[in-house]
Chains A and B, each alone.
Chain A
Amino acid sequence: MSLIEIKDLHATVSDKEILKGIDLTVDAGEIHAVMGPNGSGKSTLAQVLAGNPAYEVTGGSVTYDGKDLLALPPEERAQHGIFLAFQYPVEIPGVSNAYFLRAAYNEVRKAHGEEEVDPLEFADFMEEKLALVDMDASMLNRSVNQGFSGGEKKRNEILQMAVLQPRLAILDETESGLDIDALRIVADGVNKLKRPDNATIVVTHYQRLLNYIVPDFVHVLVNGRIAKSGGKELALELEDKGYDWVTSGAPVGAGAA
């Protein structure tokens, strides 16, 4: 059984149709890259899968782990293992990172019938997670994303991913705002979190990130549809020829795998 199966997905934002029939299937253990020019619908796809209420699904279906994903509110999707690394992480002033992370971790544990962890247990648990993204423990005492540099915000997203251990992680343009060192740290973290039972969808405009997070499949999104799918070499070809190469050609429009 596939981890997630997206069929003919249509979605609008402010009455404008952005997704015009997406078909995509992702199995456990796979990394898929979704690429495409600006405005093609990449970020919309990420937001819709996470359940952002600003987007309206107007057609199609998404089956995740045997469940109708679209029927679940965002927090239940998260509790069932869907994680979105935000392109623009949001600031929550006055709420410490440690408190926020523990609250989120405990919600996910509760959803799985596991006991909540207390602050001391959590502190131990956090030690290895911090090392994964090369973060100092002092980051935990700072307010969530407040005053963080672009790189710190993105590392904080991956830290949250490490804590919540999702089954399906969606990285939305994670490379934006990162210098090359930060990019390497972030990619390194994502790679270390890869397991046979989880999957990652990397939404990206440039091929750059894919040098570090090597995808099994690459999909090119054009005007709300997948115009072309292929292996990792497709990303390199795109880098070489530009998106015009796909947009001018006839859509292939098939799902992967």
Chain B
Amino acid sequence: MSSSIETLISREYQHGFVTDIESDTMPAGLSEDVVRAISEKKSEPAFMVEWRLKAYRRWLSMKEPHWPNVTYGPIDYQATSYYSAPKTKTPLGSIDDVDPELLKTYAKLGIPLYEQKMLAGVAVDAIFDSVSVGTTMREELAKHGIIFCSFGEALREHPELVEKYLGSVVPYSDNFFAALNSAVFSDGSFVYVPKGVRCPVELSTYFRINSADTGQFERTLIIADEGAYVSYLEGCTAPKRSTNQLHAAVVELVALKGATIKYSTVQNWYAGDKEGRGGIYNFVTKRGKAAENAKISWTQVETGSAITWKYPSVILQGDNSVGEFYSVAVVNNKQQADTGTKMIHIGRNTKSTIVSKGISAGEGNNSYRGRVQVLPRATGARNYTQCDSMLVGNRCGAHTFPYIEVGNNSAIVEHEASTSKIGEDQIFYLKQRGLSAEQAVSMIVSGFCKEVFKELPMEFALEAQALLGITLEGSVG
């Protein structure tokens, strides 16, 4: 019955091309030698290689988690290459030194790296396979004392900051994929916003997987010092390939006293074909720690990946700290997503808000998994959770797994959930008013996701719109 709606939702993947560029790729396989080799390639300080090796040894003793509501064949961790970088003549300093082939790739993806063509108000760090290929607007940011660079550079130029905060939110022993990432991560973005500074532009990292049989293991560390503010955007794409590729990232956010970090993601990794062949396995650990009066807000639009395993969380450590999670997760064909958040209330009068919108189409399977934990000390803690699912057709699935633990009797925790079906009657109603089927579906889906889209920064709202073919009500035009 809903086949017409399904075809509208399933668009051809736009970013499935491969860039033909010579790469320096390590042979497949993982061992202490590989971990050391990665560290050496990046000329890392001694503490880093030690940390990586500890993580690797820990990882060896851990088991891949199988509690998520997803199924996939065994992953051969020895069949993946853990490092791939486009060959360059010299280390990259500015965008002018970037290989034109790479600039073309990003231009094709709609990410302009040429300074003069840049989007006003956005600074971009572009990660290609394992390395950062360039960061824009750095001088402008430096005037404010803001550091925005690749992780590799941060290790070279600000090792003390990295050493102080790396693993402070997500320890290397946190979980299987975080341990793997800690051992082999090759690059990522690093942000430091000094005390009292409001970052004047949106910071953005664009992740691109290009090489075949390569895993991408990036690590992002964002530190907002006391009273600072930063808004950070993350986008991802990968070529179409018939084999699965592993993406195991870690993101750590540190919001010190009174600081605000807003982190937005539009995740559009290749999702595999209609039969479920290929696509990215997206196993990501994202967590932030909020000190007194600090605020951390996650907004994510998850449309890609064959499998998504991702729970951007907030540790509400300081009194009066605030955590937010706004999510739209779309699965189609044979995609599977098990995503949600954890809000851990430790401080007094801490507040958290969770708004999750799951859209399932085709034979897609969408699970919301969330934990709200109020520790005994967290007097006056408040949580509001809203969890809505929309089904398109009758072969897809939507599941909700909320876990609520309250250890303080002054806490107020609310949970609301709903499931709806996009109906032929809605489509016909809108068509009868002159709208095309495509516009009708866009309108219904955008209405459903409204509360999340309004949290996205303008530049990303437009990308999300292009992605879902959605007209953004009120915020455009």
Which positions in A face B, CB cutoff 8 Å? 50-54, 73-75, 77-79, 83-84, 86, 89-96, 99-100, 103-104, 107-108, 111, 118-119, 143, 160, 164
**A74 touching B424, Cβ below 8 Å:** no
The 14 sampled A-B contact pairs (Cβ below 8 Å) are A51-B431, A53-B424, A78-B432, A90-B425, A92-B426, A92-B429, A92-B443, A93-B448, A99-B473, A103-B443, A107-B436, A108-B434, A111-B434, A143-B447
**A118 touching B435, Cβ below 8 Å:** no
Query: CB-CB < 8 A to B451: which residues of A?
Result: 94
Query: CB-CB < 8 A to B443: which residues of A?
Result: 92, 95, 100, 103
**A103 touching B429, Cβ below 8 Å:** no
Q: Determine whether B136 belongs to the interface, using a CB cutoff of 8 Å to chain A.
A: no
Closest to B420 in A: A93
Which one, A74, A92, A107, contacts B444 given CB within 8 A?
A92
Q: Determine whether B474 belongs to the interface, using a CB cutoff of 8 Å to chain A.
A: yes
**B434 touching A164, Cβ below 8 Å:** yes
* B-side interface size class: 20 to 34
Query: CB-CB < 8 A to B424: which residues of A?
Result: 53-54
Which 3 residue pairs spanning A and B have beta carbons closest together? A94-B447, A95-B447, A107-B434
* Contact indicator per residue, chain B 50-87, by CB within 8 Å of chain A (1) or not (0): 00000000000000000000000000000000000000
Q: Determine whether B376 belongs to the interface, using a CB cutoff of 8 Å to chain A.
A: no
Query: In the complex, which residues 401-425 of chain B have their Cβ closer than 8 Å to any Cβ of chain A?
Result: 420, 423-425
Q: Determine whether B446 belongs to the interface, using a CB cutoff of 8 Å to chain A.
A: yes
**A96 touching B426, Cβ below 8 Å:** no
The CA of A15 and the CA of B430, in the complex, are separated in Å by: 26
Query: CB-CB < 8 A to A74: which residues of B?
Result: 428, 431-432
- Known A-B contacts A95-B444, A96-B473, A119-B477; the reply to A90 vs B431 at CB < 8 A is no
Query: CB-CB < 8 A to B371: which residues of A?
Result: none
* Contact indicator per residue, chain B 435-449, by CB within 8 Å of chain A (1) or not (0): 111010001101111
Query: CB-CB < 8 A to A91: which residues of B?
Result: 426
- Known A-B contacts A95-B443, A95-B447, A118-B477; the reply to A90 vs B429 at CB < 8 A is yes
Q: Determine whether B450 belongs to the interface, using a CB cutoff of 8 Å to chain A.
A: yes
Q: Determine whether B433 belongs to the interface, using a CB cutoff of 8 Å to chain A.
A: yes
**B447 touching A93, Cβ below 8 Å:** yes
The CA of A73 and the CA of B448, in the complex, are separated in Å by: 26
**B428 touching A52, Cβ below 8 Å:** yes
CB distance from B244 to the nearest CB of A (A): 35
User: Which one of B420, B423, B431, B451 has the highest number of Cβ atoms from chain A below 10 Å of its Cβ?
Assistant: B431
Which one, B420, B435, B473, contacts A104 given CB within 8 A?
B435
The CA of A77 and the CA of B431, in the complex, are separated in Å by: 9
The CA of A96 and the CA of B420, in the complex, are separated in Å by: 18
Query: CB-CB < 8 A to B430: which residues of A?
Result: 92, 100, 104
Closest to B437 in A: A75
CB distance from A116 to the nearest CB of B (A): 9
**B450 touching A94, Cβ below 8 Å:** yes
**A104 touching B434, Cβ below 8 Å:** yes
The CA of A164 and the CA of B432, in the complex, are separated in Å by: 11
Query: CB-CB < 8 A to A75: which residues of B?
Result: 431-432, 434-437
